[in-house]
Structure 1
């Protein structure tokens, strides 16, 4: 099965930017592009419904024109790209989550129609980024131009989710012909104060240096292991290992994303709670990164 790249399109500026990114992704992968518009059935409340239980409303003519116009513009900009359009009776978030079961990649804008200006990430984007059955690319209209030839950036923390993210990031960097930057953020209290487990006791001054050295060594080991795996799979890829001293890993990655073309994150890293489908660090990065963010969900079925 030739899995398509799927983009959710509702006519909003955010979704049109997402469609453009989806067209590029489909071209790089030699996959068809499907532009999907989910329209909410009055009895469905955003949940996929059984068409045999209730009558389905007719697709919206204005939405169909919008989809066809968007498809025509993308075909013109990306010659040879196969683009299909369709409307689905269902909430946009639920529709795209369902589409992700059969997709190579799902691309969504950070906020579509009906989004509130104070929210950096809309309900649909949050739903798809959290529950997708394949990698999900979240695109937000950039305040500054995104460097086209910028590196692909990925966080490393030793977790299975991060390992999956590194694999996707390496594939993406190889497709684009750019560098892959592996980042591991390690942290030591900037006040240089260490709390002793013994009440009233204090650590000797050299303890801070030993503690810091241990963090640095662990960071170097994690990065070296991840880089070795990437170089084995992609011998010609330039891989940069970047340990970063930061109080919070998400802040280090947000800052680094300013010069990146893409940031890849695991859906949940070390310390994540199993009940959360998208970890707190991943949520923060999807909300605040300066470039598009790829959430590295595993494929729901066998990858083709």
Structure 2
């Protein structure tokens, strides 16, 4: 995989973003990449002094607050991965716009699931969801301290859009030195019909033919990767069940779930599919969303 050697993490001072810093530092260390800590600074709607008030302490003011939270994130990243080259940037703009622009030069963008602007009760913030849809590189969304044990779970649907997710998952498993569970969930409603056995009975197929066809789809989707990553132990799971529920359940014992942004059941023009969104909201571990070829 050709990489840029840069991991970007978005921070806003929230507890969720600090957990994302830890995860981003580990990812940069694994990749022997640089880490850039980025804060998107939105100018207040009303006129507010950027510096400290004449009536307040010298360390007050919005600009000092921003510099403090970024410095805290940088220090945390260096403590988590001392060998990583850590830089930082404070960029004027709305978080989604800033991070989407940063993703153009990165191999991975890491964000927390919710930031300072999240609504109470909302499981995943709008920045995380929208960045997963619009980011130009894989986006890792971290909800809480990830479990270092367990395999990587890869959601496979056999669509061309999911090929980059397969490549990413194998490379990530190799970097983390862990196993990979390639999981393909299907139902009679979302699986294509196997070729009919007899022209006179176009829908008559031997018992188990549909399951065999889905097993074949899973094997074809993984073709060639096992040869490129012989060190990765791969478990095939073709499961008769609903995709969202099956992947969410599998995430209980995983350290990471990897999915494509959209699958073969997506509506044309939709940048982020329902399965990806469901995992961002309900998975029990971090989730990486990988967009397909533009």
Q: Which category describes the TM-score, using the shorter chain as reference length? A: 0.7 to 0.9
CA distance in structure 2 between the partners assigned to 1:69 and 1:284 by the alignment:
32
Equivalent positions of 1:179-194 (< 5 A) are 179-188=179-188
- Corresponding position of 1:195: none
Q: Is 1:149 paired with 2:149?
A: yes
On the 8 A contact 2:151/2:179 being kept in 1, the answer is yes
Structure 2 CA distance, aligned partners of 1:167 and 1:223? Answer: 14
Deviation at 1:159, TM superposition (A): 0.3
Find the counterpart in structure 1 of residue 284 from structure 2. 290
1:239/1:4 CA distance change after superposition, 3 Å: same
RMSD in angstroms over aligned alpha carbons?
Answer: 2.2
SS at match of 1:263: strand
TM-score between the two structures when normalised by the length of structure 1: 0.82
2:161–2:293 Cα contact (<8 Å) kept: no
d(CA) in 2 for partners of 1:151, 1:13? 26
| Larger mean Cα displacement after TM superposition, 225-234 or 174-183 | 225-234
Distance in 1, matches of 2:293 and 2:188, equals: 36
Whole-Å separation in 1 of the counterparts to 2:275 and 2:102: 26
* Residue of structure 2 in register with 1:87 after alignment: 90
Gaps of 5+ in 2: 52-61, 190-200
2:235 match: 240
**2:58: which partner in 1?**
none
| Counterparts of residues 191-206 of structure 1 (less than 5 Å) | none
Q: Distance in 1 between matches of 2:100 and 2:170?
A: 25
Number of equivalences: 266
Runs of 4+ in 1 over 3 A off after TM superposition: none
The TM-score normalised by the length of structure 2 is: 0.84
1:1-304 equivalent positions in 2, closer than 5 A: 2-42=4-44, 60-141=63-144, 146-188=146-188, 210=205, 213-246=208-241, 248-298=242-292
Q: Which runs of 5+ in 1 are unaligned?
A: 44-56, 190-202
CA–CA separation in structure 1 for the residues paired with 2:228 and 2:96: 35
